[in-house]
Amino acid sequence: MRRWGLILLILLVTLGVHAASQSSAQTIMDTPLNNAPYSDAGTIVTLPASTSITILSRQGGWYHVRLDSGQDGWLRMTSIRLNSSSTSGSTWGLGWVFQLFESGRSGATGTTATTGVRGLNTGNIANAKPDAQAVNRLRAWTATPEEARAFAQQLGLKAQPIPYLPEMRGNQP
């Protein structure tokens, strides 16, 4: 009897790993499809927002994906949204097994990846709007030159003069 339990467990884990490695997703913004999982890798093509993809594997903050056309490449994990129906609506009532292999934490809107670098992306920068009130609130944290000198003296820091770089005019120094 134990043998059958072990065989069933191995089968469930195998199905779960396969489902997790073959998840579907879509891009959330225009994003480059790279030929390697690095920010300085070559761009194969730029994918528009809402492009359907199949996730093949994950490496750090990158997903190896395949397009419907058969082309494959690498996308930053911050540029895609996993489709919630890709694993949770499985047959045979095994959705809970597949959810074990999803990365990140679950919330009301699905799984959120918690690894990788989060921050500004090209969409954030292109759609940025100035906030004068926030800048004014930051001024409260400004240190006067006297306060800065006193702080540096407390830490035993010493001034290091650094000459300015020559002004560049055109391509000539």
HSE-CB at 72 with a 13 A cutoff on CA atoms is: 11
**pLDDT tens string 98-139:** 555 554 444 444 555 544 445 667 777 778 888 899 989 999
pTM beyond 0.85: the answer is no
In Å, how far are 129, 137, 139 from 133, measured between CA atoms? 12, 6, 10
- Sorted by where each begins, the domain ranges of the chain are 1-21+88-105, 24-82
The CATH number assigned to the domain with range 24-82 reads 2.30.30.40
Res 90 pLDDT > 50 = no
Residue 3 to residue 12: CA distance in whole angstroms: 14
Query: How much is the average pLDDT of 30-56?
Result: 92
**pLDDT tens string 66-76:** 999 999 999 99
